[in-house]
Chain A
Amino acid sequence: MSRTDTGASERVADHPPSGPGRPRRGLTERLLAVRELSLLIALAALILVTTMRNDRFLSAQSIKDLLLGCAILVILAVGQTLVIVTRNVDLSIGSILGLVAFATGELFLAAPGTPWPVALLVGVALGGLCGVVNGGLIAVAKVPALVITLGTLYAFRGIDYYWAAGRQINAADMPRSFLRLGNQTVLGVPVLFLVALVVVAAAGFYLRSYRSGRELYAIGSEPAAARLSGIPVGRRVFAVFAANGALAGLAGVLYAARFGTLDAAAGAGLELQVVAAAVVGGVAIFGGSGSVYGAALGAVLLTTIGSSLAVLRIDPFWQQAVVGALILAAIGLDRLLALRTAARLRGGSAHGA
């Protein structure tokens, strides 16, 4: 915490400011805009390079594939953003997704006539339940979310395995109407991507425009101050984990619709990509700052990297290494920028009185 005089405020002793002026754009907002812009530039550059190698990369089919491919990751990244903003992390989402995806298949097996909206609701509810388990354990034990969710990562996956017992659910077991959800398009845009867009917009709107949304940032920014301000920290963190679980549940149902073939291993290892997407998207791992738009862009970027590696015929084994390198680069870059900003703010004027 810097406790230094910046001279940033101009003290006017005798004449108060002349009426309410037009609010200027805050520094935070400007920094965020910079991050989102640079992500877009990176994305454009990547697409350009890949397209130069192979012009089909920019065909309608290919763009459709990209949008379809990133939808699930975008939804998960939005949920993870909610969690990271409060200075927590949820590593169990991959397992929640797998469990819910399998449960969806089971539901259709058990009750073949189930309309897909019901399945969607059941999946979201089951995901939410998993999130409640996470949130509850964290609230009760007051231990880092990392450890709890690392534990539930295995516990949920174990339940999934146990339940599936080596069985597989196939596309034929699920109703056509449900599977169409997975690759249908509206005006050339996949439904899945539209769902993701709605989730991003809703979460972004909530975080910006609602008191409880702003409180999430407050909690991540300075937990002790949040408590003193009367913010129900425990309740908010609990709710965030429940919401993240529900979003992972939604992603699980969509996963089932998209891939059609389900076994218990669905979504294994996805948590790394999701954390990477959020972090690359500018969500500070220290909490308190970052936006869902950035996280969503991060998810799109990661998916595009995956696709272009395949198109560029680069050894697919590089992909995981790239994910890791991106996480390191993103958090390192954030740190560097933060230090720079701090130095600039401090160096601005030393007791310029």
Chain B
Amino acid sequence: MAHDSLYTAPPSGAGVETEREGGRFAALRRALGSWDAAVVAALVVAVLLASASVQNFATGRNAQFLLLDLVPLALLALPMTLIVITGEIDLSVASMVGLSSTLMGQMWLSSGLSLELICVLVVLLGGVLGAVNGVFITGFGLPSLAVTIGTLALYRGLSFVVLGDQAVADFPPSWTAAAVRNLPGASIPAAVVPVLLLAVVFGVVLHATPVGRALYAMGNNDQAATFAGVSVARTKFWLFVVSGAVCGLVGVFWTLRYASARGDNATGLELTVVTAVLLGGVSIFGGRGGLLGVVGGVLLLGVLRNALQLADVDANALTIVTGTLLIASVVLPNAVANLRARLHRRRQRAHLTAS
């Protein structure tokens, strides 16, 4: 398994080396045990601060805008969380959304199928796109990073090929309106409901089923997981399929919400998804993190962007903020853990010399 150690800086280390790593990761673990709580706390602080200082933030209408903007991000973050926990990554999600969207447009334009059937087909096709990733990664044993960079380009290219020079926009207004409609009597978009349902499903799978246990085990140590009877390759394959299917779903939502199927839909969204997942406390090395933290991360990211936008912060500054948040959310936990480990060693040394 060459790919599990690819691009991971810490030494995979033979023998006793890992014992020291164990110590460090234990510290990391303590730091992260509270990461969920920290994210939620940061979210609350952000909401309070924004409500107090940013005009027009704390209104029902704004909440609706905010949530509606977050639907694709939240949906994509769910399977991404599981994939990153197994130590892999899927960078092709945004391209799969784009391709799903254009496929939907093309089918609507030329196939004469009913929109309901098209939606189902698009979700299934998304699954097929994910399966291509899965085959390359688990079948050929290639690093998911390299494969999904490849499919990032491939799927985006194909999505331009599919619709070429047109944007399909004549979807029935009843459908496009449904995508942005609010729940009756509330300023919460109806689309939030399926997102919540899926979040609960993913949360339960991750935290309270044998599958979830296996995901954590293989993310930490896929050899040990294999020895314990976990089908590492097969599980990962299906995760990528699920990721593709969710992308298909997001493609459908995106198309209807913006009433437009275009090749460039959702370009660059993968960065935001990965940022939200890492911000939510999922370790890029795999094996650690939870869904609650990720949901917190998604909301935090959304609130920050929305509030900054309302406060008339330049779009370019927002780009910098997203990039910096991504870096911070991987650098901080590691830096904290390193610091703790160093303090721990120093204490130990002091203890030893004293005795």
Binding site for B on A (CB under 8 A): 87-89, 137-138, 140-148, 150-159, 161-162, 165, 223-224, 227, 272, 275-276, 279, 285-287, 315, 317-325, 327-328, 331-332, 335-336
Known contacts: A321-B153, A324-B156. The answer to whether A159 contacts B320 by CB under 8 A is yes
The residues of B with any CB-CB pair to A shorter than 8 Å are 2-3, 5-14, 17, 89, 136, 140-143, 145-147, 149-158, 160-161, 164, 263, 271, 274, 278, 284-285, 314-324, 326-327, 330-331, 334-335, 338
Whether the pair B7, A323 counts as a contact (CB closer than 8 A) is no
Which are the 8 A-B pairs with shortest beta-carbon distances?
A324-B154, A321-B157, A154-B323, A324-B153, A320-B157, A158-B320, A327-B150, A155-B323
CB pair A327–B146 under 8 Å, yes or no, is yes
Which residue from chain B places its CB closest to the CB of A148 in the assembled complex?
Answer: B327
Q: Quick check: A161 and B316 within 8 Å, CB to CB?
A: yes
Q: In terms of DSSP, what is the predominant structure of the interface of chain B?
A: helix
Contact A328 B323, beta carbon cutoff 8 Å: no
Are B335 and A332 in contact, with the CB atoms below 8 A?
no
- B9 near A138: Cβ-Cβ < 8 Å: yes
What is the CB-to-nearest-CB distance from B147 to chain A, in angstroms, rounded to a whole number? Answer: 7
Select A323's contact among B89, B153, B160, beta carbons within 8 Å: B153
Complex CA gap A294/B146 in Å reads 18
Which residue on chain B has the smallest CB distance to residue A338?
B2
A151-B326, A162-B316, A332-B140 given; A141·B157 CB < 8 A:
no
| B10 and chain A: residue at smallest CB distance | A142
Known contacts A144-B9, A332-B142; is A276 also within 8 Å of B323 by CB? no
With contacts A318-B157, A328-B136 taken as known, whether A285 is within 8 angstroms of B143 at the C-beta atoms is yes
Residues of B within 8 A of A318 (CB): 157, 161
Q: Closest approach, in angstroms, between the C-beta of A83 and any C-beta of chain B? A: 11
B158 nearest CB neighbor, chain A only? A321
CA distance A180 to B271 in the complex (A): 38
When chains A and B are docked, how far (Å) is the Cα of A318 from the Cα of B159?
A: 10
Query: A99 to chain B: closest CB distance in Å?
Result: 12
Taking the closest CB of chain B, its distance from the CB of A344, in whole angstroms, is: 18
A223 touches B12 (CB 8 A): yes
On whether the beta carbons of B157 and A323 are closer than 8 Å, the reply is yes
B323 touches A152 (CB 8 A): yes
Cα distance, A141 to B284, chains bound together (Å): 12
Contacts of B338 in A (CB 8 A): 142
Q: B327: which of A88, A151, A165 is its contact (CB, 8 Å)?
A: A151
* Most A C-beta atoms less than 10 A away, residue of B142, B155, B263, B323: B323
Q: A141 touching B147 by the CB < 8 A rule?
A: no
- 16 additional A-B pairs beyond A325-B150, A331-B147, beta carbons within 8 Å, are A87-B6, A140-B331, A141-B334, A145-B7, A145-B9, A147-B326, A147-B327, A150-B271, A153-B323, A224-B17, A279-B146, A317-B160, A318-B157, A321-B156, A324-B150, A331-B136
